């Protein structure tokens, strides 16, 4: 049973297109996140939802819009894709609290051409 | 802005050698976590340290949280090829669950 699953694993698309990445967790966690990992492997938070409520919205272009239909799902929609959006996007979930770590999905490698 | 400086960024060693990875910040964190990431996969949590001065062991891996909760280290004894991967430290502060990640240390252990 996959704990945090993301689809698709790979996404190749042209500049200007709109695309979505889906994420689902079956751990019963209240909090879900989207992180972006750049070509140097640096992970940076984009968004966080706690029980369907947006609680973190970092400095991300408004072309990126997260949606959480319920606490087990957090999707990421990206409009008007740009070359610089190419990266690996990770979904993660956790139990709120300082001693609990994240469970990450296996990532979505987005390539914009 | 909270930053975590991780060093070294790259490490290539022979099987059986020992190594230490450092994670430093000028900020105080409520907890510090270490993850290991393999190619094509997401990071996997190794350990969380919460108390200043805390030491945790996971087989040949020893994790330490600094007394002031601003730094941490990961020591691997007798490294094996299976230890190869990207090691990431991450600090938590506040109650949002947000983690600040270090730049990562790519470890290669040669047989």
**Residue B94 confidence (pLDDT) above 80:** no
- Percent above pLDDT 90 for chain B: 90
Cβ-in-10-Å burial (0-12, 13-18, 19+) of A98 comes to middle
Min Cα separation A18/chain B (Å): 24
What are the chain B neighbours of A96 within 8 Å (beta carbons)? 95, 97
Min Cα separation B13/chain A (Å): 21
| Cβ contact, residue pair A44, B92, below 8 Å | no
Cα torsion A91, A106, A24, A69: sign: positive
* Least reliable range by pLDDT among B22-26, B55-59, B96-100: B96-100
- Percent above pLDDT 70 for chain B: 99
**Residue A96 confidence (pLDDT) above 80:** no
B41 neighbors B35 (Cβ within 8 angstroms):
no
Per-residue pLDDT averaged across A67-95, rounded?
96
Select the residue from A41, A44, A46 to test the B interface by mutation, using most B Cβ atoms within 10 A: A41
H or E stretch including B92?
strand B85-92
Min Cα separation B1/chain A (Å): 12
- Quick one: tokens of B74? 């990961």
Give the model's pLDDT for residue B9.
Answer: 96
| Cβ contact, residue pair A104, B42, below 8 Å | yes
Query: Which of B31, B45, B101 shows the shortest C-beta gap to A43?
Result: B101
Each residue of A51-64: pLDDT tens digit? 888 988 887 899 99
Per-residue pLDDT averaged across B75-102, rounded?
93
A79 neighbors A65 (Cβ within 8 angstroms):
yes
Give the C-alpha separation, A57 to A78, whole Å: 15
How much is the mean pLDDT over chain B?
95
- For residue A54, what is the nearest residue in chain B, using CA coordinates? B96
| Cβ contact, residue pair A101, B48, below 8 Å | yes
Give the model's pLDDT for residue B96.
Answer: 79
Min Cα separation B29/chain A (Å): 9
The CA radius of gyration of chain A, in Å to the nearest whole number, is 13
A1 neighbors A26 (Cβ within 8 angstroms):
yes
| Cβ contact, residue pair A100, B86, below 8 Å | no
Confidence bin at A98 (pLDDT 50/70/90) = low
| Cβ contact, residue pair B40, A48, below 8 Å | no
* B48–chain A Cβ distance below 8 A for any pair: yes
């Amino acid at each position: 049973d996959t704990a945090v699953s993301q689809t698709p694993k790979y996404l190749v698309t042209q500049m200007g297109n709109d695309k979505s990445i889906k994420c689902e967790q079956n751990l019963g966690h209240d909090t879900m996140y989207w992180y972006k990992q750049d070509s140097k492997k640096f992970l940076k938070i984009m968004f966080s939802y706690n029980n369907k409520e947006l609680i973190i919205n970092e400095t991300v272009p408004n072309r990126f819009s997260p949606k959480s239909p319920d606490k087990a799902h957090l999707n990421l929609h990206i409009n008007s894709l740009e070359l610089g959006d190419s990266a690996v996007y990770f979904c993660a979930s956790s139990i709120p609290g300082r001693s609990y770590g994240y469970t990450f999905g296996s990532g979505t490698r987005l390539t914009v051409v | 802005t909270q930053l975590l400086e991780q060093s070294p960024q790259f490490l290539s060693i022979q099987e059986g050698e020992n190594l230490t990875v450092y994670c430093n910040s000028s900020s105080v964190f409520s907890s510090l976590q270490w993850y290991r990431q393999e190619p094509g996969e997401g990071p996997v949590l190794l350990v969380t340290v919460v108390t200043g001065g805390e030491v945790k062991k996971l087989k040949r891996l020893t994790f330490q949280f600094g007394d002031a909760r601003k730094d941490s280290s990961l020591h691997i004894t007798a490294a094996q090829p299976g230890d190869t991967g990207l090691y990431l430290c991450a600090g938590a502060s506040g109650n949002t669950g947000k983690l600040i990640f270090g730049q990562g240390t790519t470890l290669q252990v040669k047989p």
